Amino acid sequence: METKFLIQNDPLWKRLQEFSLDQPNANFPFSKKLAKEENWTEEFTAKAIEEYKKFVYLCCVLPNGASPSEIVDKVWHMHLIYTQNYWEEFCPNILQQKLHHHPSNGGENENKKHKNWFSEALSNYEKIFQQKPPHEIWLIKKEQPKRKKFWLNSFKILAILSAFFILSSCSDGIDNLLTVISIAGPFIFVIAFLISKIFGEDNNKDRHKNDNGSSGSCGGSSSSCSSSSCGSSCGGGCGGCGGGD
């Protein structure tokens, strides 16, 4: 409880809590853009942004930096796109230091090192915030369904329906068979595609709901602050920033 008390009285933590990524009077604010692009619910997006602020705090106060999960890294990536907000307001006024984002060099040795750093980040998270990192933001990973699987399912359905029509028309001769295929073929394909598309979108929407359909793990980048050089990152190569002077 003593550590948590110290956080609440830390000016940096106060500034982060008061800072909003959504600009006032924006028709399409940051949070809505993030939710739309990542196909997240409004609730999940708010939680991801909250964890992003915690990650940034860890970046700035830990000597060896911190490492984001894949979800947190997505928020960070989006924030970096808002260049004016990030570099002219967030870093100088809120963090009072620069927080850079660099790609990982890759390779087995670096990935192993990144996994260790990510484990350290989770441990430091518990110590500083006096709670475990939310599973749906930091720990759970669920791969997004591949688009080619949607098409494969479409063709499977098409093949089954076509076979049914072919068998049902064989007794009436070749002419009837060709007629059925020419008329029903495109229609069957459209139906199969729509069925596959609907189920594909449903699966994709379930990725980041606040149950076991959420994803986490690591991103694919590293970062450093201008006040110190550091290479904190996670299994996928994402990283954080060492504490400033």
Q: Which of 97, 88, 23 is nearest to 57 (CA)?
A: 97
Report how far residue 138's alpha carbon sits from residue 135's, in angstroms, rounded to the nearest whole number: 5
Report how far residue 189's alpha carbon sits from residue 160's, in angstroms, rounded to the nearest whole number: 11
Q: What is the pLDDT of residue 1?
A: 46
Distances (CA, A) of 125 to 62, 178, 213: 10, 67, 23
Query: Domain residues of the chain, as ranges?
Result: 2-142+218-222, 147-208
Q: What is the pLDDT of residue 209?
A: 41
Q: What is the pLDDT of residue 220?
A: 43
> Mean pLDDT, 10 residues at a time, over the chain (245 residues)?
67 95 90 95 96 95 86 95 94 92 72 83 93 92 48 61 59 58 65 62 44 40 42 41 45
Place of tokens 């692009």: 37
Q: Which of 97, 88, 122, 77 is nearest to 221 (CA)?
A: 77
**What letter does residue 146 receive in the DSSP assignment?**
P
Q: Using CB atoms within 10 A of its CB, is residue 155 exposed (0-12), middle (13-18) or buried (19+)? A: middle
**What letter does residue 25 receive in the DSSP assignment?**
T
Q: What is the pLDDT of residue 235?
A: 33
Q: Using CB atoms within 10 A of its CB, is residue 111 exposed (0-12), middle (13-18) or buried (19+)? A: middle
> Nearest 10 degrees: CA dihedral of 125, 22, 30, 57?
-20
- The encoded tokens of residue 181 equal 């295929």
